[in-house]
Amino acid sequence: MLANGVLWALLCSSCQPDQSNPLRISKTMEKESMARMGELVRECRVCHGVEEAQRGPILDGMEYWYLYDQLQKFRSGIRGQNPENRSEHLMGIGIKKLQNDLESSYLADWFARQDPKPAVRTVRGDAERGKLFYEARCASCHGENAEGNRLLAGPALNRLEGWYFLEQMRKFRSDERGYHPLDETGRMMAAASKGIADSTLKDVVAYIVNTYGPEDEPTMFERMVPGKSPKPF
């Protein structure tokens, strides 16, 4: 083996490490990417923040592997290239800011480590009926307690805000998500969503969000008039 290596080095002097060595390039890329991370997180937060103007889902506390997979799907165009799906298309714009796998990996890790954020409860439904339906049709891939099932690529559903949860279910059902031939896991989920009535979707969303979902965000009124504060008179 050693002799082989020496022979190779003698025959091929241009194969010696030099400035164009891919390893060095990736080290430079790594440095540049790390330097950009703070800025990138801020850019993601414009749409994925908790402020009122937020247009994307809250990502804080989602699983690393799921976030990473989705980012790679957006990067490769398996998700986010359907102009009919306007919000996905928006994210198709957001993803252009990422330059390499390392950045997907860093951002997935960053968001996965954040504490879950409280969310306003927006979807109402019959939680009892939702529970029965969830156990029969969803739990096998997403876990009894919506904690996710990585073996079947089913993400946890306990970080989702009601509005986003419902919207994604409708998108899977209408083939606006999970339509790409290479989107295997998306298509699996799309198949699982077919034919479910809107009222049943609301029941399931209400059940999961109320039972396992993010903490309830107090409304503006509740924030201004705290329930337990002593009367000033």
Contact between 57 and ligand HEC per CB under 6 A: yes
Of the two residues 119 and 189, which places its CB atom closer to ligand HEC in the complex?
Answer: 189
* Per-residue binding letters, 198-217, with ligand HEC (x by CB under 6 A): ------x-------------
CA distance 49 to 86: 19
Contact between 140 and ligand HEC per CB under 6 A: yes
HSE, side-chain direction, 13 A CA sphere, residue 29: 13
Tell the smallest beta-carbon distance from residue 22 to ligand HEC (Å).
25
CA distance 113 to 150: 18
Instruction: Find out whether 150 and 65 touch, Cβ atoms under 8 Å.
Output: yes
Beta bridge partners of 154: 149
Beta bridge partners of 149: 154
CB atoms within 10 A of CB 47: 17
CA distance 186 to 59: 18
DSSP state of 95: G
In this chain, which residue has its C-beta nearest to ligand HEC? 94
Cα angle 122, 126, 132; round to 5: 125
Instruction: Find out whether 92 and 74 touch, Cβ atoms under 8 Å.
Output: yes
User: Considering CB under 6 A, how many residues would be counted as binding ligand HEC?
Assistant: 44
Tell the smallest beta-carbon distance from residue 184 to ligand HEC (Å).
8
Contact between 92 and ligand HEC per CB under 6 A: no
The stretch among 21-29, 31-39, 86-94, 113-121 that binds ligand HEC (CB under 6 A) is: 86-94
CB atoms within 10 A of CB 231: 4
Contact between 141 and ligand HEC per CB under 6 A: yes
Of the two residues 26 and 140, which places its CB atom closer to ligand HEC in the complex?
Answer: 140
Of the two residues 6 and 191, which places its CB atom closer to ligand HEC in the complex?
Answer: 191
Of the two residues 142 and 202, which places its CB atom closer to ligand HEC in the complex?
Answer: 142
Contact between 119 and ligand HEC per CB under 6 A: no
DSSP state of 114: S
Interface residues with ligand HEC (CB under 6 A) are 40, 43-44, 46-48, 55-57, 59, 67, 69-71, 87-88, 90-91, 93-94, 97-98, 107, 137-138, 140-142, 152-155, 157, 160, 165, 168-169, 177, 185-186, 188-189, 192, 204
